[in-house]
Amino acid sequence: MARINIKTILLLILANTLITIILPILSSAIAKSLNKKFEIGLFNLPAIYSLIIVILIIILLKIYSKSKTSFYGIKKLNIKDIKLTFLLLFFLFPIPLLGRILDPSFDSWYTSQYNIFSFLAILYFLINLPIFIIKEELIERSLIQNHLSKYYSSLITILVVSINFAILHFFLIPNSYYHSFITLASVFLGSLIIVSLYEITKNVFLTMIIHIIYNLTVFYQIILHINNNLLGEIILFTIWGLLFLFTFKKSFNLIKPLFISKKQKLSTADYSFLIFYAILLPIIILIITKYL
């Protein structure tokens, strides 16, 4: 028998389908019904409605389960945890650097994919990116990671959440499989750090902060690259790299205990569920999304 109960498994599956299936369809339908359009000025309405729906789901779950607000990662920020957040932000440095070296054409592909060429397009992206990330973090931490870590060790939770999240970011676009695999690897490695931050602090606001700053920094690097500003890229990577080197030992020692925790005894049912949730479920979701 698995450690985790059926009710929690169903909640986790629902949370996973929220990101790629339920919320895009539901929020678009609401925007079309209420506003007859998908944007108001520079604001993406489906993104806003998606965030509102996720917040309402968390409120309803809190009322139903009678859990404390802190269970969902909603806590006050403190200086110690903010410092930890920036240490792990610096620790993420090798990921975009390796991506830039191994897949230099990704940046032009990414900007053409999302049509990010004009100032207004960039501004639109910058305004709406935090909304998408806040929604994503509430789902990944407050709904998924919290419930998994109740039943499984930090190491198992970190790996399962990161693999699941990475697969959901796999782009099956013709003639871009290399971009897809590089993206999968980058998202997986980045997720390991962000999931670790939440395992240490149990504060969803901190994962929102690191996720937003990291994505904005990488986006800035992409803009520098497509504008052939090599000097700007060198300065950015140099500063980030120095911060990484100066804080590496401290950051590594902070997350190391999470990855060397005692081996947890699991049943066949546990292994079956974890493999299904980490790998099979996101693949099924991707296939369904492709045909919707």
pLDDT digits (tens, 9 = 90+) for 195-218: 999 999 999 999 999 999 999 999
Are 5 and 271 within 8 A, CB to CB? no
pLDDT at 242 over 70: yes
- Give the pLDDT band of residue 262 (cuts 50, 70, 90): confident
If we measure between CA atoms, which residue out of 259, 60, 45 comes closest to residue 142?
60
Give the pLDDT score at 173.
Answer: 57
Q: What is the pTM of this model?
A: 0.94
Are 162 and 198 within 8 A, CB to CB? no
Q: Is 274 exposed, middle or buried (0-12, 13-18, 19+ CB in 10 A)?
A: buried
What value does the mean pLDDT take over residues 37-46?
91
Q: Residue 37 carries which DSSP code? A: S
Are 38 and 122 within 8 A, CB to CB? no
Q: Is 41 exposed, middle or buried (0-12, 13-18, 19+ CB in 10 A)?
A: exposed
**What Cα–Cα distance (Å) separates residue 117 from each residue in 101, 114, 127, 156, 190?**
23, 9, 15, 41, 26
Q: Residue 227 carries which DSSP code? A: T
Give the pLDDT score at 178.
Answer: 82
Which amino acid, one-letter code, is at 5? N
| 3 state SS of 170 | coil
The radius of gyration of the chain from alpha carbons, rounded to an integer in Å, stands at: 19
Give the pLDDT score at 105.
Answer: 87
Which residue bears the tokens 């504060």? 203
Q: Is 3 exposed, middle or buried (0-12, 13-18, 19+ CB in 10 A)?
A: middle
Q: Nearest 5 degrees, angle CA 36-CA 40-CA 46?
A: 70
